[in-house]
Structure 1
Amino acid sequence: MDREVEYEPVSVKVILVEMKDTAELLIDLSYSSVLLESSAIAEEVLALEQRMDVLRLKARMSLLMAARSPEDAKALAPVLGVVDAAEKISEAAGDIAKTVVEEIVLPDAIRSALPEALESIVRAELAADSALAGQTLGERHLETETGVRVIAIRRQGEWLLNPDQETTLRAEDVLLLRGPEEGIAVVYSEATGEEYQTSEPTKPAIEDVGRAVDSIILMKNMSELAVDLAYGAVLFNNEEVAREVFELEVEVDALQSRFEAWTLRAASRVDDPVSLRGLVHIAQSTEVISDAALEISEGVLHGLGAHPVVAAAVEESDEIIIRLEIEAKSTLDGATLGTEMVSTKTGMRVIAVRRGSRDDDDGWVISPGPDTELRAGDIILAKGTRSGAERLAELTETS
């Protein structure tokens, strides 16, 4: 990028909001480009990566102008860490997308395994007779009713990234949908008029390749979770959550080591060892994302606290993180996330649960599943939209 970036007075908070939203979108789009073998999505990732370079420079300029004393520098150091971490996520996403742009060979197993990751990402073309055509995303309440989010729209060859509640859907739009399988099936059918078909995972011919692919999927899930928890740690200035980010980063490093061992073993048994290059490329980039998550929460982890501007940016970003306590006799008191279909009903994803004062299971439950039971006194961290947050809050309050 050879375009000169000049200093202009701009709110650091505004820049941080855009960097956070862009970084999270880049993660989704980069893996989507691999899953769908879409050079168009991959090119959008690279274009957004360039935009992130500009944002990083503007943020640094503003922070340098704001630091007038050693005390200022100490307070703003964690903010600079958040800026650099978002840039690292951007670069890692760009590297993942380059596997598509540069046509680096990938085993079929990686594309069949990606939909089995934390949330499915599906491409759907909006049929002319679909009830969704002509509606805004807000009018249809997709997220709150199905848990599915439209993360991008391709319209007449152009991509509309990060569509909001005011975005009107049009016939022939190509939608990228992200959400739980049951919600995806509903929205896909409504959008296309066709039944959603799940594909059977391709079984690798060589077992070590399969293990390597499984490692990448685990690394992807853990890295994305680490980013969510890192922003949660900053928002709530919570050292315990920051420590969970650290533990996740350690686990991703361990998975990276196992991945390397299985890939090297597989290389001696495949006809063309170079065909494994794409896997190595994605694994390295995924590990960088977990490192970046640790950088986001580093200020909290080392007792420097969270600068108010970072917490404010997280609160105002496109996807928010909320902290709620389960009240006695509320809908969620004694229920599981699955039985109450929390994700489907609210569009919110519960990323962590802090147990109450029960002696048998105190502590954090990270990435809780459908069988996770909630009880009065538990604290939940959840991520999603503001409207979804309101609906989730209603489930936690005593009726």
Structure 2
Amino acid sequence: MDPFEGEISAGSIEYEPVSVKDVLVEMKDTAELLIDLSFSAILHQHHDLAREVLRLEERMDLLELRARMSLLMAARNPDDAERLAPVLGIVAATDQISDAAGDIAKILLEDAGLPEAMRTTLPEAIESLERAEVTADSAYAGRTLVDIDLESETGVRVIALRRGAEWLFDPGPETTVEAGDVAFLRGTETDLGPVVETLTGEPYELAEPESPEIADLERAIDTIVHMKNVSELAVDLAYSSVLFDSRPLAEEVRNLEIEVDALQSRFTAWALKAAGEAEDPVRIRGLMILASATEEISDAAIGISEGVLRELDVHPVVHLAVQESDEIITRIVVEPGSELVDADVIDGRLDADAGMSAIAIRRPEDGWLLIADADARLRAHDVLIAKGTRNAEESVQPLSES
């Protein structure tokens, strides 16, 4: 049984010894899933996903209380308090992400107002999330993920499972999919359809999106999607800056937060212009809330990395949490004359046999380029943000040097 099950609805909680490391890892996993679920719910107008966001938000509230209690119990002297303060900052910022995700979900659930054409500007090949409840007669029920071989066969990944009140993040090959599980799937809408039908036994139908008739509204929606991607990257970098005590990564979080502020300003201008032309300006109100919540997520990323920016020592509990991650995010400056100059980044992979996936490039003259948006060729002085194993990171760093 899930140790947290039943405690949320009861409205009370008592201290009991828990592993701070485990709670921090779960808070991080929960925050990342919340960002994905909340934006997918909005962009695809998916009410069931929005309700799952509120479930996770409740769980995050409980995790935050558990973490605060344990950290307060661990502070025995002023030195402990100084080293634990940044960890408390991480806990508070992670809960801030959760609250922002909940606000995003409520835009849909409380009908705060969204343009009917939200999905129109999304590329057809963009990956999205889907929720599917596994029926007892599903061909996948009772089988492990390695047996189903879902990703190889369909291109769809199971990123989480909910079993009652228990959440399983990043399920592994030996994880069994059971009847009654709620599976959270990532893939393109084309690939998702057959998988959802196999899991649920019900047809998968997509609503036909309407085209926006107002150009400024289309620009505003495009900007919201870009804000989401930049904020999500900021959170990834913030956690990595703390886990690996990397000031350069923390500085990039600050750069991304500035970018989100600029995008929000641009969005507001287009949204206000669109409101003047729209027949029902109230339908744009939800977009304004969405932009504000997205900016809150980027602010939270600064809160996560604040301890690193202030050069405070990372507490050992964070180093323990780092061991839970097989992948790292690294910052690579492409020096003139290095092997990475003119290297191609295609479908997110570095064409340098380095085993690293490119996430984003910050180009001095052009700003941020998210690799999800386009392929690219590296230039001298680019700042490359990449993800991979520690061994891969050690092999790619020398390539960036002249």
Q: TM-score, normalised by structure 2?
A: 0.74
Q: Does 1:8 align with 2:13?
A: no
Partner SS for 2:176: coil
Change over 3 Å in CA distance of 1:69–1:127 after alignment to 2: closer
Give the 3-state SS of the residue equivalent to 1:6 in structure 2.
coil
Kept after mapping to 2: 8 A contact 1:122/1:177: yes
2:44–2:118 Cα contact (<8 Å) kept: no
Q: Is the 8 A contact 2:41 2:50 kept in 1?
A: yes
Q: In structure 2, how many angstroms separate the alpha carbons of the residues matched to 1:113 and 1:246? A: 28
Task: Determine whether 1:56 maps to 2:64.
Answer: yes
Change (3 A) 1:352 1:213: closer
| CA root-mean-square deviation | 4.6
Shift of 1:86: 0.6
**Residue type of the alignment partner of 2:99:** E
Deviation at 1:12? 1.4
CA drift of 1:36 comes to: 3.9
Distance 2:130 2:82 in 1: 44
Letter of the 1:49 partner, please give it.
Answer: E
The aligned amino acid for 1:381 is A
Alignment partner, residue 89 of structure 1: 97
Unpaired runs of 5+ residues, structure 1, are 326-331, 356-360, 384-388
- Compared with structure 1, are the counterparts of its residues 116 and 186 closer, same or farther at alpha carbon in structure 2 (3 Å cutoff)? closer
**Alpha-carbon separation, structure 1, partners of 2:157 and 2:143:** 15
* 1:294 to 1:201, Cα distance in 2 relative to 1, 3 A: farther
Unaligned runs of 5+ in 2: 1-7, 199-203, 333-339, 398-402
8 Å CA contact 2:161–2:171 kept in 1: the answer is no
Match of 2:41 among 8, 30, 33: 33
Post-superposition shift, 1:256? 1.1
Write the mapping of 1:50-199 to structure 2, written as runs, cut at 5 A. 50-114=58-122, 119-122=127-130, 135-140=143-148, 142=150, 148-152=156-160, 162=169, 164-165=171-172, 166-169=174-177, 175-179=183-187, 181=188
Asked if the contact 1:228–1:351 (Cα under 8 Å) also holds between the matched residues in 2, the reply is: no
Cα distance in structure 2, aligned partners of 1:333 and 1:135: 46
The one-character-per-residue Cα deviations of 1:349-386 (angstroms, maximum 9, x if unpaired) are 5335799xxxxx9xx987445434599xx986316xxx
**Whole-Å separation in 1 of the counterparts to 2:227 and 2:357:** 19
Q: Does the Cα contact within 8 Å between 2:247 and 2:308 map onto a contact in 1? A: yes
1:110 match: secondary structure: coil
Q: 2:328 aligns with which of 317, 321, 337?
A: 321
Q: Secondary structure at the residue paired with 1:9?
A: coil
Q: Distance in 1 between matches of 2:135 and 2:392?
A: 32
Provide the secondary structure at the position in 1 that maps to 2:111.
coil
Give a deviation string over 1:61-105, Cα, whole Å, max 9, x none. Answer: 221222222222221111111100110000011111112221233
Q: What is the aligned partner in structure 1 of residue 297 from structure 2?
A: 289
Corresponding residue for 1:329? none
- Structure 1 distance, partners of 2:396, 2:186, is 25
Q: Distance in 2 between matches of 1:145 and 1:311?
A: 37
1:348 Cα deviation from its structure 2 partner:
8.1
**Contact conserved, 1:338 with 1:370, CA < 8 A, in 2?**
yes
Q: 2:212 aligns with which of 196, 199, 204?
A: 204
Distance 1:173 1:292 in 2: 31
Q: CA deviation at 1:393?
A: 8.1
Q: CA deviation at 1:128?
A: 10
Q: How many residues align?
A: 373
Which stretch shifts more, 295-304 or 202-211? 202-211
**Residues 231 and 311 (structure 1), Cα distance of their counterparts in 2 relative to 1, 3 Å cut:** farther
Q: 1:287 is matched by which residue type in structure 2?
A: E
Of 381, 386, 389, which aligns to 1:381?
386
Q: Does 1:371 align with 2:371?
A: no
Partner of 2:263: 255
- The answer (yes or no) to whether the contact 1:30–1:96 under 8 Å persists in 2 is yes
Q: Counterpart of 2:25? A: 17
What is the distance in 1 between the residues matched to 2:50 and 2:362? 38
Q: What's the offset of the Cα at 1:213?
A: 0.9
